[in-house]
């Protein structure tokens, strides 16, 4: 089966993925859905046929994992005010 942009997007939708693949000339990228907020959504291939349908879905899932790790909130401890500063604020 010949891999086309349409075939990749149909397969992504069939897999329940709400993003779609776009040709940007010298590379491809995922757009819309979950991919809209990603920092990295590009795939450095020049032809859609350079990957199989399975590889396109795997590439999407890999980028999804990478972006989730990068965008995961970091648990930061609350900022503490020094005891002396609290008293000074209370006097004001």
pTM metric for this prediction: 0.75
3-state secondary structure of 72: coil
Name the more confident of 30 and 92: 30
pLDDT digits (tens, 9 = 90+) for 6-38: 999 999 999 999 999 999 999 999 999 999 999
Which tokens go with 29? 């990228």
The answer to whether 23 touches 48, Cβ cutoff 8 Å, is yes
CA of residue 9 relative to chain centroid, distance: 17
User: d(Cα 45, Cα 41) in Å, to the nearest integer?
Assistant: 13
């Amino acid at each position: 089966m010949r891999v086309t942009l349409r075939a990749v997007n149909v397969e992504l939708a069939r897999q329940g993925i709400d993003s779609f693949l776009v040709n940007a000339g010298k590379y491809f990228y995922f757009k819309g859905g979950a991919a809209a907020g990603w920092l990295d959504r590009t795939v450095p291939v020049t032809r859609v046929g350079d990957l199989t349908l399975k590889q396109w879905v795997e590439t999407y899932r890999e980028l999804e994992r990478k972006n989730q790790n990068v965008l995961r909130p970091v648990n930061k401890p609350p900022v503490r005010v020094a005891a002396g500063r609290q008293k000074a604020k209370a006097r004001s």
